Amino acid sequence: MTLPQPSEPKPNTSHNDAGHAVPRLLIVDDQASVHHAFREVFAARTRNLDLEADEAILFGDNASSASQNTSCPQDPAPRLDFAFQGEEAIDWVNTLADTGTRYDLAFVDMRMPPGINGEETIRRLWETDPDLHIVCCTAYSDDDLSEVMQRLGRPDQLVLLKKPFDPAEARQLTAALVEKHDLRNQARLHVVHLEATNRELKNQIKRRGEAEARLRYQASHDTLTGLYNREAFDQHLARCFETAQCNPDYHFAVLYIDLDNFKVVNDTLGHTAGDRLLSTVGKRLQDSLRPSDSVAKTAGNIAARLGGDEFVVLLDGLSHPDDAAAVADRLLTTVSGPNRINGLDLQIQISIGVAACDHHCTHHDDVLCHADLAMYRAKENGKNNRAVFDDEMHAKHHERINLLSDLQTAIDTHAINVVYQPIIDLHSGNMVAAEALARWDRPGHGPVSPATFIPVAEQSGLIVPLGDAVLRIACQQLIAWRRNASPNIPKAVSVNVALRQFLQRDFVDKLADLLAEFDIQPNELRIELTESTVMDQTVDIQRILHAVRHLGIQIYLDDFGTGYSSLSTLHKFPIDVLKIDQSFMRAVETDPRHAAIVKTITDLAHHLEAAVVIEGVEDIAQANSVIRWGCDYAQGFHYSRPQPASAYGLDQSPINRAA
């Protein structure tokens, strides 16, 4: 810690050759002989001085013996300044004060005609140096000075000495008063230091307090909008929930707000424009929640940004839970509206999910979750809209939670089954591989369609253990089939892999481990990735694709034609086979021109040295068509529905051979 230098009183003393501090005295007397006498008293006190003549004035008859007896060779001789008149003494003190030093002691005669007397002199000396110690010298013949002393005050700084005085007494008095003055100065220096330290400590405490307040603010606020952040919101929400548990008359609600089409702004106008849009929304929300505003008057209402384009509002202390919807309606008008960004008038639109804390909520998170679900309903209902969480949404939500729980159990207990659907070589009519498809017989509910449980698994992350389980079962099945000599055995399996599964850091290692563990040749295993997985631009899909290819495992691009892939970027990806989605087969039924599209896609795939599987071939007519269009492989109910593994290798083949 560095302390500022205080404006400390400079020591009055310089030092002599021996290093002793030299006191500085001022002698104020109108008689030169007195000056001389003082000089002698404080000069070489070890010498045998002939002081009688002068000292007699001051000290009377026993002067010289006293001066010898009290000699003190260690004490430095003081430095003396002399004044004949009070005014002159004041000049001395002023001059010294200008240099920042002070006298240790002044001897002041009481009568100094023709100038000001001792009393006035002392008073004026104290005006310049209030700490000055003064010995007031009077003759024995002078009147009683007690009244003067009383008038002057400061009894601790003023000593009376009657002339003639003993030299030893004078020196002792001087030594004592100089020491006292010195100690007083030191004490004052300490006080100055302590005060400076104290000031600095106070400053530090203040600065630390400010820094802590800043940190607290940063920890609880979103930097972009200045609104509360997720953590702070969570704390507020938890407090409201606690209050609601204790007080049935207390109501609160959460509004979950999501910007409509924010991604479009971010993608087309850039992140800076996106940030400005978010700031505007934050400000409008904040303004709408001021107690002075009519939208939501309670001071406890807060707005927060959870991240991205998601905002929340906590309506604290509603008179009735239904009031929350009215607040949402008002926010739709106050927050939505035009906003000029990059010279463009952008229309801000929001979707709001409304959820009050009700008997369905067992934890404060539930209120937020309900508001989130309601927000999705608002989006489904056409955006720029609000939806209130209701019993029907609650039932659906509950069902989803139960479904996830049952699905988790099914994965843990190996209750997920896999069926296989043949992929037919259209040139030979032979089965070249089979696609592995997950099946789940949910206890108490019967078979659940993958179209139902796969999306739920994808959203929740359960798709990772589920997909890994299917991969493993398919590999096990492949080697089990090897022991069967029948020609109706798939020689390879093709397994669907979801984006989240594909993005696991160790996905490629897992594939390699499976090949090694089951002693499978890489060309016996294929993975199917949907078009949207491959086109996902947020991560380095290409790198993983190449790593899979490097293992020798073929990559199928699934559901081709349903996503947004641009044909021009297709060549960038290491794709072996393009699976044309079954919706094209359906479309040809209604509009024969779709046949041309399938043919074009097939030609394009061939140019890119990829083969084509056409999905959804359901009858002989379609089977003949796909051969004509130049497709290489086909899959569909016409050849076989997905079958359990046990159906393969039997004499009765599951495959209706291609025409």
Contacts to ligand C2E from residues 426-445, by CB under 6 A: 437-438
If one asks whether residue 658 binds ligand C2E (CB under 6 A), the answer comes out as no
If one asks whether residue 449 binds ligand C2E (CB under 6 A), the answer comes out as yes
CA distances for 321 relative to 183, 208, 258, 364, 365, angstroms: 76, 43, 21, 16, 17
Q: How many residues bind ligand C2E (CB under 6 A)?
A: 23
User: Closest separation between CB of residue 467 and ligand C2E, Å?
Assistant: 5
Complex with ligand C2E: residue 70 or 624, whichever CB lies closer: 624
For residue 326, give the nearest of 389, 391, 244, 386 by alpha carbon: 386
Contacts to Ca ion from residues 506-535, by CB under 5 A: 528
If one asks whether residue 385 binds ligand C2E (CB under 6 A), the answer comes out as no
What is the C-alpha to C-alpha distance for residues 548 and 526, in angstroms, rounded to an integer? 10
What is the C-alpha to C-alpha distance for residues 161 and 172, in angstroms, rounded to an integer? 12
User: Closest separation between CB of residue 560 and Ca ion, Å?
Assistant: 8
User: Closest separation between CB of residue 545 and Ca ion, Å?
Assistant: 17
If one asks whether residue 582 binds ligand C2E (CB under 6 A), the answer comes out as yes
- Binding segment toward ligand C2E, per CB under 6 A, in 164-172, 181-189, 374-382, 636-644: 636-644
Residue 467 interacting entry, from ligand C2E, Ca ion, none, C-beta within 5 to 8 Å by type: ligand C2E
Amino acid at 255: L
Contacts to ligand C2E from residues 460-479, by CB under 6 A: 463, 467, 470
Q: How many residues bind Ca ion (CB under 5 A)?
A: 4
If one asks whether residue 559 binds ligand C2E (CB under 6 A), the answer comes out as yes
Complex with ligand C2E: residue 157 or 635, whichever CB lies closer: 635
User: Closest separation between CB of residue 586 and ligand C2E, Å?
Assistant: 8
For residue 121, give the nearest of 173, 129, 179 by alpha carbon: 129
If one asks whether residue 66 binds ligand C2E (CB under 6 A), the answer comes out as no
For residue 65, give the nearest of 50, 44, 43 by alpha carbon: 50
Beta carbons of 589 and 616 less than 8 angstroms apart: no
User: Closest separation between CB of residue 294 and ligand C2E, Å?
Assistant: 51
If one asks whether residue 422 binds ligand C2E (CB under 6 A), the answer comes out as no
Beta carbons of 633 and 492 less than 8 angstroms apart: no
- Which of left, alpha, beta for 384 (phi over 0: left; psi -120 to 50: alpha)? left
Residue 274 interacting entry, from ligand C2E, Ca ion, none, C-beta within 5 to 8 Å by type: none
* DSSP label of 200: H
For residue 532, give the nearest of 507, 497, 506 by alpha carbon: 497
What is the C-alpha to C-alpha distance for residues 528 and 562, in angstroms, rounded to an integer? 15
Complex with ligand C2E: residue 82 or 629, whichever CB lies closer: 629
Beta strand spans in 196-286 (E): 251-259
Residue 78 interacting entry, from Ca ion, ligand C2E, none, C-beta within 5 to 8 Å by type: none
Complex with ligand C2E: residue 318 or 411, whichever CB lies closer: 411
User: Closest separation between CB of residue 506 and Ca ion, Å?
Assistant: 23
Complex with ligand C2E: residue 74 or 449, whichever CB lies closer: 449
Residue 616 interacting entry, from Ca ion, ligand C2E, none, C-beta within 5 to 8 Å by type: ligand C2E
Burial group, residue 458, by CB count within 10 angstroms (0-12, 13-18, 19+): middle
Angle between helix axes 364-380 and 391-412 (nearest 10 degrees) is 110
If one asks whether residue 125 binds ligand C2E (CB under 6 A), the answer comes out as no
Site map (CB under 6 A) of ligand C2E, residues 337-376, x = contact: ----------------------------------------
Complex with Ca ion: residue 327 or 498, whichever CB lies closer: 498
Structural element, H or E, at residue 229: none
Pair of tokens at residue 647: 């159906």
CA distances for 540 relative to 499, 503, 545, 562, 656, angstroms: 12, 9, 9, 22, 41
If one asks whether residue 29 binds Ca ion (CB under 5 A), the answer comes out as no
Complex with Ca ion: residue 366 or 528, whichever CB lies closer: 528
Complex with ligand C2E: residue 346 or 438, whichever CB lies closer: 438
| Identified binder of ligand C2E from the candidate list 9, 60, 450, 465, rule CB under 6 A | 450
If one asks whether residue 421 binds ligand C2E (CB under 6 A), the answer comes out as yes
Burial group, residue 491, by CB count within 10 angstroms (0-12, 13-18, 19+): middle
Beta carbons of 534 and 573 less than 8 angstroms apart: yes
If one asks whether residue 316 binds ligand C2E (CB under 6 A), the answer comes out as no
- Binding segment toward ligand C2E, per CB under 6 A, in 175-183, 271-279, 450-458, 516-524: 450-458
Complex with ligand C2E: residue 350 or 463, whichever CB lies closer: 463
| Identified binder of Ca ion from the candidate list 559, 625, 629, 632, rule CB under 5 A | 559
If one asks whether residue 496 binds Ca ion (CB under 5 A), the answer comes out as yes
C-alpha 460, offset from chain centre = 27
Complex with Ca ion: residue 288 or 421, whichever CB lies closer: 421
Angle between helix axes 391-412 and 463-482 (nearest 10 degrees) is 40
If one asks whether residue 635 binds ligand C2E (CB under 6 A), the answer comes out as yes
Which residue carries 């083969």 as its tokens? 611
Beta carbons of 123 and 94 less than 8 angstroms apart: no
If one asks whether residue 616 binds ligand C2E (CB under 6 A), the answer comes out as yes
Tell me the three state secondary structure of residue 5: coil
For residue 556, give the nearest of 501, 493, 618 by alpha carbon: 493
User: Closest separation between CB of residue 566 and Ca ion, Å?
Assistant: 20
Angle between helix axes 167-220 and 52-59 (nearest 10 degrees) is 70
> Which residues bind to Ca ion, rule: CB under 5 A?
496, 528, 558-559
Contacts with ligand C2E, residue ranges (CB under 6 A): 421, 437-438, 449-451, 454, 463, 467, 470, 496, 498, 528, 558-559, 582, 616-618, 635-637, 642
